[in-house]
Structure 1
């Protein structure tokens, strides 16, 4: 069979698949309408992850859970420090168009939204917005892309055809993320700096209602496919809140989930609609019914689960593991992990896009992981042996060449207290400490802590005389106190 004939058959197959699913593009799973039919998993589907420290977007085939390659949007440190640098920095947020042909990728450090053609993996355009954008999502009609500009106080509304900003919607400082009702009537915007979620009439770009958040730090929000509920996460206090997706937008439920509660999304199955919540501090995905809010599962997935997204038929949930550089695939029938896929450094938002690839064999514009696949993992344990022997803090050292970016997912400390991540001369945490990063815990006694330097070379030294040990000590960098967590041996 010739190549042209093979491609023609694949195109006919894809067109038939799209016709079989009807006019609705979202396949009956979040963030689309429940009335749309499911799309079975196929080699035309893609799972994308936005990877914050390698500045890549990984591309995975969900049939065999195989990494196909990465789309490189930027360089690692220190190359991205140059004043002449033109790539993206801190690749983080992700959304996709209703026709599944365009991926919108937000980079926090370079204040950008990169639009990628899903058929060719090529960058179509990059739009620069205000300070520290966080997430970008298409309106259900596909005409606009709304970007939360978290470092300022507005939503940047981008025209989906020209990729130019057409207007702004003013919000309280720090809009964290937005999502839309499946019918496209309402936009829901939670805040990362203010205890308020705003409801916007999409057609008028006007705020019509507000919903009180129990804390000011919401990183993620999602609407159920039936259009009845909106769920948002509160990362600092470890909770989920649920409110009515329709007027008068009343709060319905608050659920305690656990430290570093990151993202939420839904899978609709024969047994009902279920919310899957990533709880980073517990390395779990918790599963709740949306009818009575009962918890039905707690799934161990690996270090620091972050982004979460359902397959087009709801049979799987994919989870980005921020401190494990992997995607975990969950079978929703058994609520168990059935595969792990190596991806780039510190995956944040992910997206499962059915029928993204007209030619499933096309690998153009994809690169190998390279340095993005190099990482070392450590853990810190409580010095007094608390938490039943479980390490409360996981540490990843992401290679950037000669240096590493350290990221620690810290739990098990006192709430709202000052601590220091430091290097100690001895494994028990005694002796002089060299501070790496000072931080304050959130109300749940947890934190995400970052540092940069040749840290792997120091903590992985083969000789005891040169080696240093990671610890967490009470106090601040000027005067650190006694170590409370020490490196696991």
Structure 2
């Protein structure tokens, strides 16, 4: 079990009860589970080869992990930490987003999204998208899934009713992470090759702004109050933006190569994986100040929060 390295005493940090963070350790073929009530990593789960993406079911009872080198997805019971299913998908699965009925898995090597029925944990279809699809995110109302196409400089919009693409949105170079605002009005795309974030208006699926952030931005998350946190892997910083995409002060330093970003559902904290430091940073969602660094497994990448 890893030990939490606090800059202040753990009891001084007002963590909400039973929030857990599942972290994919791509260099260890495992998932670390950080429990905010305990203030430490409470479990390590073996999965497939090179786990990179993590998505939580809406109810928080299951977590889906993409195993890039195994061409599978591991399904984890969020209470027992047991792997309950292993689902075959496309080549080099990277990201995963989950609705009450389906998991959407981006296949980086197949230019497709595998549709998985969460009731049976069986693949039920393939949706064509752009080249090198990277990360998906579901709109708050469940109507759309937005997929970044790392090799096509675009975002594919999938209608969840028809399970078909309905729009392609041009963005910056090598788009990677993507997040949607709590009201569903804006989508934020991290363009790794451009060092920018593109803001998309979901009413017409058009870009409405571009903001410069740090080098090689990867993961993006949005807090319930609408603050956007961007992990800049090439700058060892996290940029914080407002709803319109404007910077809120200077970027925040974190350990080496931050890649993943996820926000707690109660607006308490934001969690950032530091791939080059085998750790996870915890930032206060209101002040953007780091409050802790947690050691996890080797080369952590994607992560998801359950409650």
Residues 103-157 of structure 1: per-residue CA shift (max 9 Å, x gap): 0000101111000001100010001111101111112xx1011111110121110
| Residue 186 (structure 2) pairs with residue 229 (structure 1) | yes
Quick one: which of 316, 323, 333 aligns to 2:269? Answer: 316
Alignment partner of 1:192 is 2:150: yes
Q: In 2, Cα distance between the equivalents of 1:339 and 1:242? A: 30
CA distance in 2, matches of 1:292, 1:329: 22
Q: Unpaired runs of 5+ in structure 1?
A: 1-39, 74-87, 355-489
8 Å CA contact 2:228–2:242 kept in 1: the answer is yes
> Corresponding residue for 2:96?
136
Query: What are the superposed Cα offsets for residues 174-207 of structure 1, whole Å, 9 maximum, x if unpaired?
Result: 2212111110111111101112211121101122
Give the whole-Å Cα distance in 2 for the aligned partners of 1:240 and 1:329.
Answer: 22
The question of 1:70 aligning with 2:29 is answered no
Q: Does 1:169 align with 2:122?
A: no
Q: How many angstroms does 1:301 deviate by?
A: 1.3
Higher relative contact order structure (alpha carbons within 8 Å, sequence separation ≥ 6): 2
Which residue among 205, 208, 218 is the counterpart of 2:175?
A: 218
1:257 and 2:213 matched: yes
Aligned length in residues: 294
Higher strand share: 2
Shift of 1:218: 1.6
Cα deviation digits, residues 7-26 of structure 1 (max 9, x gap): xxxxxxxxxxxxxxxxxxxx
- Relative to the length of structure 1, the TM-score reads 0.58
Distance 2:130 2:286 in 1: 41
Greater than 2 Å deviation, 4+ residue runs? 40-43, 294-297
Counterpart of 1:121 in structure 2 is 81
Distance between the aligned counterparts of 1:201 and 1:71, measured in 2?
33
Hey, what's the Cα distance between the residues in 1 that align with 2:104 and 2:257?
27
Partners of 1:210 and 1:173 in 2: CA distance: 12
Q: Do structure 1's residue 306 and structure 2's residue 255 form an aligned pair? A: no
2:193–2:216: 8 Å Cα contact kept in structure 1?
Answer: yes
- CA distance in structure 2 between the partners assigned to 1:243 and 1:190 by the alignment: 12
How is 1:342-353 mapped onto 2 (pairs within 5 angstroms)?
Answer: 342-353=295-306
Residue 28 of structure 2 is aligned to residue 54 of structure 1: yes
Structure 1 position 260, deviation (Å): 1.6
Q: Provide the secondary structure at the position in 2 that maps to 1:220.
A: strand
Aligned-pair Cα RMSD in Å? 1.4
Distance 1:220 1:294 in 2: 18
Alignment check: 8 A CA contact 2:209 2:245 kept: no
- 1:64 CA displacement: 4.7
